[in-house]
A and B are shown apart, each in its own frame.
Chain A
Amino acid sequence: MIFTSFVYVYFLAFVVAAYWMAYWLPRGKMWQNILLLVASYVFYGYVHPWFCYLIAGSTVLDYGCGLGMAKYPARRKWLLVASLIGNLGMLGVFKYFNFFADNVVIAMHGLGFDMDPVVARLFLPVGISFYTFQTLSYTIDIYRGEMEPRRSFIDFALFVAFFPQLVAGPIERATHFLPQIESERKWNTDVFVSAWPLIIRGYLKKLVIADNVSVYADKVYMLDHPTALLLAAGTLAFAVQILADFSAYTDIARGTARLLGFELMENFDSPYLAISPSDFWRRWHISFSTWIRDYIYIPLGGSRVKTAFAGAMIVLTSMGLSGLWHGAAWHFVAWGIYHAILLIVYRQLGYSGRWKPITRLGVLLSWALMFFFTLVGWAIFRTPSMTWLVRAAGNMSVGLSGDSLLVSATIAALVALYSLPLIVSLILSRRESKTGPVSAIAYALAVCLIGLFAQEHGQDFIYFQF
């Protein structure tokens, strides 16, 4: 089920109403959690019911491993390994099997051996990367002694499958989210009301901004021989699309969670205002970047290693895996490595951490440079394949005149037009806790903009595929 479908409207209305009615039953919290768990499985298995087996398998595995670690401390390590193999194995089979098989065939062909392509193509279950990482954080935290295993299977299963953030995050930490599930949720009108601006903002970003600019990005990346200017315009469109699309999902997820009395973590903090690579990763997909930091980068040695080379290798490994997490294709890996190189170079130049230029001009120049680097990264991310990008770059003309200039300028102008609500949305987000007349009028305008500009043929959220 997707947030932009009509069936989701009915589903949400029913779940929210039943959820708050369940609060008044004896042992209300338990009934609320059972209801949410059932609803989450309905949400996830609505189109492909077999998806539910996977998430249930992952849930049972980590629930058992968690309890096992508490009961058999001497076997903690083996239980952690079992959890890692189970979860990463499932991810590997469903997400990376096709990628692996295709590359083996290509490699063998290069060596002179022709192999039949693997006939069985595995279907990627949506959201598998998100809930796998979420449930892994639970077993790793228990292994590290940072939290106690949970005895309530219902509570743990709800932590893994909570429908608002199940498919595209934010990737919640057990230490942050499980306590909310275990505590009683009382009706709070302020929290309930504060959900709506988030939800409206999310739909505005998705239906008006992301879906409209995606048309231009998609068309440019469908060209066999784009000019540099067209590629730049298409990449600008994609940069706006991916931010609007992904942050829209987070906004709707957070708003929906608030309707149910939960608070999910923020995932974005104006990432295109970043002035350095490390600043960018503090602002972009925060729940994921902190996961990579806490469970891969720091365990590998982080910034504590003695040599610059070792530090660079750790960054390359972390970011390469981060790229691979996004999809089983070489251009995602290249995107991760590209950002790793940016991080390493900035660090070598002494511009890492929370570095910030002293002057305003310095900030402006740093921002412009980082925005340019971000766009280059999105070109690598968005390309249909590395072959396409290399071929396009090899045959590329600048295109500063004629049709190329006219079309690029038009795309840029239309992207700027559709980005206006993103800027207004940024301003609104600063006012989200306020319920004054300005906010009321602004959100009413947002609803009208959705009515007037929503793209007829909306696309799935981009991060569904990851």
Chain B
Amino acid sequence: MKRLLSLILFLATIGAITWALRPPPIEAPKLDKDAVENAQRWRQSLIDEHPQVVLLGNSMLGHGVNTIHFAMRTGLPTVKMWDGGVASAWRYLMLKNVIARSPGRPEVVVIFFKDQYLTEPAFRVDGNYKDRLDALRQPNEPLLDELAYGKERRDPLAYLIEDHWPLDRQRAVVKPTVEDWVKKQVGYGLHENGKEAVDAAIGRVFADSNLNTELFTKAQLEAMGTKTKDNRDFQTLISESFLPADIQIAKTAGIRLIYVRVKRAQDAQAQADGTAASNDNSYMNQYMIDMRAYLASHDVPLFDFTTETQLKVSDYADGDHLTEAGRLRFTGILVEALKDKLPTPLASERPYAELSAMRDPLVLSGPFNSRPPFGWIAKCPEWKQYASNAGDSYRSVLEVLEDGVPLGPANSFISEIASKGSGRFSHWLDAVYFSASDNTDPNTNGRVYSVRFRVPE
């Protein structure tokens, strides 16, 4: 009887504490508006454009490949889907929930990646990256939760505890609150600015540059929230990555995958210097050999452009992103390399064939509306389908000429065209935004402004 009463007391105490600390009812997650709009736009583009090829990646793809050139050179309707900084978790969700499920799914998906990031499933899955993943995810994503967020989602008991024991959910609130309280007391106790001073000091003392992560096991690093450095053993990483799932999803949906490892500025610099690139070490070499063998065993082609020689340092705007000229050059290189792996065009007419007739300059007629202090706007809704847009901000191949001399840089930010001018221009939706080379008023400076489309021969 005494034991029974103790058991009842034990359970009642747990129940009372759980009730007292219960979290508010779970509301549906508030999705980021931009991320939702992007996801919707990508879904719609598959339905509207029925592409045969989808190019999938982050800003290295966004800056690296021109869709119009790619489509014209291959003869294949092509859609580019990219978002800045996204990594393998985003590609997995895009492939699974947007592309493979769409009635307009393509025949080929070309996935762009750099170095070993295909096998780092937890890379860039927090903060605003989480917003983008949330906009793409289904309610139940066990693989995402396991690989990207380290949750033991596969175990039914874990589900049970998480779903039915509110204290488990309250951990995310109570634990940081208590730890922050301690930090605050220590901070004030030492006459510093509370928790902020402590956090800043922790950040400085344990800055990555002060840590030698090679001394520790992966479990220790994960517990500390530290990413492993130089962890490039493909054989170990493959089972903990989205790669096998990507291949399976594509296979089930009848999509052919092609992987493309992009070249970075450091690769071009190393070629120019005649040295090995910083990432060209034995780990990375072996990693690529193992990856190639793995993909080959699944009949998935891999193209590694880090060693190709046509892209020079001058083709890069920064470490990972190509300039306008570099973009067009790499698009040509890419098409040449991929041509044997791409499908046969379905349509008799090549995409954008009409642009071939627009290589010669067409005069822009004024008056131009002002976008002060240096920007000017010429409306041209008839070319909207060739213009850059929110989904593909480096799409346009339109070039603005001033008295027959090309201006630039093309595809500049509209805000920079207005504020800095100096020949910057952009073909955005139904207008051409441009500036004079000397920031004068094109309505009165007496020069002729014309445009032409730079399309392949």
Bound-state CA distance A413–B180 (Å) is 11
Instruction: Determine if A403 is an interface residue (Cβ-Cβ < 8 Å).
Output: yes
The answer to whether A406 touches B223 (Cβ under 8 A) is no
With a cutoff of 8 Å between Cβ atoms, the chain A residues found around residue B213 in the complex are 222
Instruction: Determine if B192 is an interface residue (Cβ-Cβ < 8 Å).
Output: yes
Residue in A6, A214, A452 whose CB lies within 8 Å of B223: A214
With a cutoff of 8 Å between Cβ atoms, the chain A residues found around residue B192 in the complex are 406
With a cutoff of 8 Å between Cβ atoms, the chain B residues found around residue A6 in the complex are 152, 155, 157-158
The stretch that binds B, out of A260-268, A284-292, A453-461, is A453-461
Instruction: Determine if B205 is an interface residue (Cβ-Cβ < 8 Å).
Output: yes
The answer to whether A455 touches B223 (Cβ under 8 A) is yes
Instruction: Determine if A388 is an interface residue (Cβ-Cβ < 8 Å).
Output: yes
Instruction: Determine if A21 is an interface residue (Cβ-Cβ < 8 Å).
Output: no
Question: Can you list, as one digit per residue, whether each of B193-217 has a CB less than 8 Å from chain A (1) or not (0)?
Answer: 0000110011011100011110110
With a cutoff of 8 Å between Cβ atoms, the chain A residues found around residue B220 in the complex are 214, 218, 459
User: A459 CB to closest chain B CB, in angstroms?
Assistant: 5
A306-353 residues at the B interface, CB under 8 angstroms: none
User: B381 CB to closest chain A CB, in angstroms?
Assistant: 53
User: A411 CB to closest chain B CB, in angstroms?
Assistant: 9
The answer to whether B210 touches A224 (Cβ under 8 A) is yes
Instruction: Determine if B190 is an interface residue (Cβ-Cβ < 8 Å).
Output: yes
Determine the residue in chain A with the shortest Cβ distance to B185. A413
Residue in A215, A230, A410 whose CB lies within 8 Å of B183: A410
The answer to whether A215 touches B157 (Cβ under 8 A) is no
Given known A-B contacts A403-B205, A439-B6, A454 and B11 have beta carbons under 8 A apart: no
The answer to whether A223 touches B3 (Cβ under 8 A) is no
The stretch that binds A, out of B78-86, B167-175, B294-302, B427-435, is B167-175
Question: Can you list, as one digit per residue, whether each of A206-219 has a CB less than 8 Å from chain B (1) or not (0)?
Answer: 00000100110011
The answer to whether B158 touches A452 (Cβ under 8 A) is no
The answer to whether B10 touches A440 (Cβ under 8 A) is yes
Question: Can you list, as one digit per residue, whether each of A410-441 has a CB less than 8 Å from chain B (1) or not (0)?
Answer: 10011001000000000000000001110111
Bound-state CA distance A435–B2 (Å) is 8
B147-199 residues at the A interface, CB under 8 angstroms: 150, 152, 155, 157-158, 165, 167-168, 170-171, 174-175, 178-179, 182-183, 185-187, 189-190, 192, 197-198
With a cutoff of 8 Å between Cβ atoms, the chain B residues found around residue A218 in the complex are 216, 220, 223-224
B351-389 residues at the A interface, CB under 8 angstroms: none
Residue in A10, A223, A440, A457 whose CB lies within 8 Å of B13: A440
Determine the residue in chain B with the shortest Cβ distance to A190. B3
With a cutoff of 8 Å between Cβ atoms, the chain B residues found around residue A223 in the complex are 205-206, 210-212
Residue in A388, A409, A441 whose CB lies within 8 Å of B186: A409
With a cutoff of 8 Å between Cβ atoms, the chain B residues found around residue A437 in the complex are 5-6, 9
Instruction: Determine if B222 is an interface residue (Cβ-Cβ < 8 Å).
Output: yes
Bound-state CA distance A413–B222 (Å) is 23
Bound-state CA distance A444–B220 (Å) is 30
User: B177 CB to closest chain A CB, in angstroms?
Assistant: 10
Q: Helix, strand, loop or mixed for chain A's interface?
A: helix
User: A297 CB to closest chain B CB, in angstroms?
Assistant: 33
The answer to whether A405 touches B168 (Cβ under 8 A) is no
Given known A-B contacts A218-B224, A451-B165, A407 and B170 have beta carbons under 8 A apart: no
The answer to whether B171 touches A452 (Cβ under 8 A) is yes
Given known A-B contacts A6-B155, A457-B222, A403 and B215 have beta carbons under 8 A apart: no
Question: Can you list, as one digit per residue, whether each of A97-124 has a CB less than 8 Å from chain B (1) or not (0)?
Answer: 0000000000000000000000000000
Determine the residue in chain B with the shortest Cβ distance to A225. B210
Residue in A10, A440, A455 whose CB lies within 8 Å of B6: A440
Instruction: Determine if B18 is an interface residue (Cβ-Cβ < 8 Å).
Output: yes
Q: Helix, strand, loop or mixed for chain B's interface?
A: helix
With a cutoff of 8 Å between Cβ atoms, the chain B residues found around residue A246 in the complex are none
Given known A-B contacts A219-B211, A457-B223, A444 and B13 have beta carbons under 8 A apart: yes
Given known A-B contacts A403-B205, A457-B223, A460-B219, A410 and B10 have beta carbons under 8 A apart: no
Instruction: Determine if B17 is an interface residue (Cβ-Cβ < 8 Å).
Output: yes
Determine the residue in chain A with the shortest Cβ distance to B9. A440
Bound-state CA distance A439–B10 (Å) is 8
Instruction: Determine if B14 is an interface residue (Cβ-Cβ < 8 Å).
Output: yes
The answer to whether B150 touches A456 (Cβ under 8 A) is yes
Determine the residue in chain A with the shortest Cβ distance to B165. A451
User: A198 CB to closest chain B CB, in angstroms?
Assistant: 15
User: B218 CB to closest chain A CB, in angstroms?
Assistant: 10
The answer to whether B182 touches A448 (Cβ under 8 A) is no
With a cutoff of 8 Å between Cβ atoms, the chain B residues found around residue A459 in the complex are 219-220, 223
Question: Can you list, as one digit per residue, whether each of A280-302 has a CB less than 8 Å from chain B (1) or not (0)?
Answer: 00000000000000000000000
Instruction: Determine if B31 is an interface residue (Cβ-Cβ < 8 Å).
Output: no
Instruction: Determine if A189 is an interface residue (Cβ-Cβ < 8 Å).
Output: yes
Instruction: Determine if B7 is an interface residue (Cβ-Cβ < 8 Å).
Output: yes
Residue in B9, B157, B158, B189 whose CB lies within 8 Å of A409: B189
User: B121 CB to closest chain A CB, in angstroms?
Assistant: 15
Bound-state CA distance A211–B210 (Å) is 23
The answer to whether A406 touches B215 (Cβ under 8 A) is no
With a cutoff of 8 Å between Cβ atoms, the chain B residues found around residue A365 in the complex are none
The answer to whether B9 touches A407 (Cβ under 8 A) is no
B218-245 residues at the A interface, CB under 8 angstroms: 219-220, 222-224
User: A128 CB to closest chain B CB, in angstroms?
Assistant: 19
The answer to whether B190 touches A405 (Cβ under 8 A) is yes
Bound-state CA distance A135–B2 (Å) is 42
The answer to whether A435 touches B3 (Cβ under 8 A) is yes
Instruction: Determine if A447 is an interface residue (Cβ-Cβ < 8 Å).
Output: yes
The answer to whether B201 touches A406 (Cβ under 8 A) is yes
Determine the residue in chain B with the shortest Cβ distance to A443. B10
Given known A-B contacts A417-B178, A435-B6, A215 and B223 have beta carbons under 8 A apart: yes
The answer to whether B182 touches A413 (Cβ under 8 A) is yes
Bound-state CA distance A405–B205 (Å) is 11
Instruction: Determine if A384 is an interface residue (Cβ-Cβ < 8 Å).
Output: yes
Residue in A406, A441, A445 whose CB lies within 8 Å of B198: A406
The answer to whether B158 touches A444 (Cβ under 8 A) is no
Bound-state CA distance A407–B198 (Å) is 7
Determine the residue in chain B with the shortest Cβ distance to A416. B182
User: A238 CB to closest chain B CB, in angstroms?
Assistant: 12
Bound-state CA distance A7–B157 (Å) is 9
Instruction: Determine if A17 is an interface residue (Cβ-Cβ < 8 Å).
Output: no
With a cutoff of 8 Å between Cβ atoms, the chain B residues found around residue A230 in the complex are 205
Bound-state CA distance A448–B166 (Å) is 10
The answer to whether A406 touches B17 (Cβ under 8 A) is no
The answer to whether B9 touches A445 (Cβ under 8 A) is no
A189-242 residues at the B interface, CB under 8 angstroms: 189, 193, 211, 214-215, 218-219, 221-225, 230
The answer to whether A222 touches B211 (Cβ under 8 A) is yes
Please give me the 9 A-B residue pairs with the lowest Cβ-Cβ distance, nearest first: A444-B13, A451-B167, A403-B201, A440-B9, A6-B155, A384-B215, A406-B201, A440-B6, A440-B10
Apart from A214-B223, A435-B6, A444-B14, list 8 A-B contacts with CB within 8 A. A6-B152, A403-B205, A413-B182, A413-B183, A417-B178, A440-B9, A452-B21, A454-B171
Residues of B that sit less than 8 Å from A by CB: 2-3, 5-7, 9-14, 17-18, 21, 150, 152, 155, 157-158, 165, 167-168, 170-171, 174-175, 178-179, 182-183, 185-187, 189-190, 192, 197-198, 201-202, 204-206, 210-213, 215-216, 219-220, 222-224
- Could you give 9 example pairs across A and B, Cβ below 8 Å? A9-B157, A218-B216, A219-B211, A222-B216, A406-B186, A410-B186, A444-B17, A452-B21, A457-B219
Residues of A that sit less than 8 Å from B by CB: 6-7, 9-10, 189, 193, 211, 214-215, 218-219, 221-225, 230, 384, 388, 402-407, 409-410, 413-414, 417, 435-437, 439-441, 443-445, 447-448, 451-460
